[in-house]
Chains A and B, each alone.
Chain A
Amino acid sequence: EIVLTQSPATLSLSPGERATLSCRASQSVSSSLAWYQQRPGQPPRLLIYDASNRATGIPARFSGSGSGTDFTLTITSLEPEDSAVYCCQQRSNWPMYTFGQGTKLEIK
């Protein structure tokens, strides 16, 4: 089973700064990776699919990169509403999904 490890567990930044979130897979998942944002009490929201494609309606401040085992979600010009848990998800063993444990982003 492929395990996704996200780092850091918690990230505290100020408005206007850049956030860099990491997701590492225990073995290659090619580009079969997605990123989600989840605010408290809400369902997840798709940000990035297939490693680097922004989902519909997602601002250009959000970008995804990587392939194989190392992936990055970058959020530029942080805004207060970016406070949330960010989770990666892989689907290299189609159609089954596995998720990372999440990174909590706090905007000070």
Chain B
Amino acid sequence: EVQLVESGGGLVQPGGSLRLSCAASGFTFSGYSMNWVRQAPGKGLEWVSYISTVGSTIFYADFVKGRFTISRDNAKSSLYLQMNTLRAEDTAVYYCARDHYSAVAGIDSWGQGTLVTVSS
């Protein structure tokens, strides 16, 4: 069974940092590109970042560029998101999300999410 388990969320002050982790199991992690997607309370979904299978291709949404860093460790089947200079508008549930292996558009597996709250 495919499992994605996020951790590392919590309450942080504006300007602070957090590092999110996602532990993957039940599939060959190194064979899939991965994403972080977030959802502010009561709002829609927002794509945050993408990383290719070996980490050689990385993209960010404009609203996190220069502040967030995505990375992965295939030996540990883990995905990470380093979040710096956090703002109140970054408050959201952050999902670790796996791209469908053959689709152009489609995320076929999601974690349960970890809540990040940015507040003083």
Contacts and interface: CB of A to CB of B under 8 A. Distances in A.
Interface of A: 31-34, 36, 43-46, 48-51, 53, 55-56, 87, 89-91, 94-102
Name the 5 nearest CB pairs between A and B, nearest first: A49-B106, A43-B110, A97-B47, A91-B105, A49-B103
Chain A binding surface SS class? loop
Contacts of B44: 87, 99-102
Interface of B: 33, 35, 37, 44-47, 50, 52, 57, 59, 61, 95, 99-100, 103-108, 110-113
Nearest to A100: B44
A34 B95 CA distance: 17
A49 B107 CA distance: 8
A49 B45 contact: no
Contacts of B46: 99
Contacts of B112: 43
Contacts of B52: 95
9 contacts: A34-B103, A43-B113, A46-B106, A46-B107, A49-B105, A89-B107, A91-B104, A95-B52, A97-B37
A50 B104 contact: yes
Contacts of B37: 97
A68 to B, nearest CB: 14
A37 B50 CA distance: 22
A75 to B, nearest CB: 18
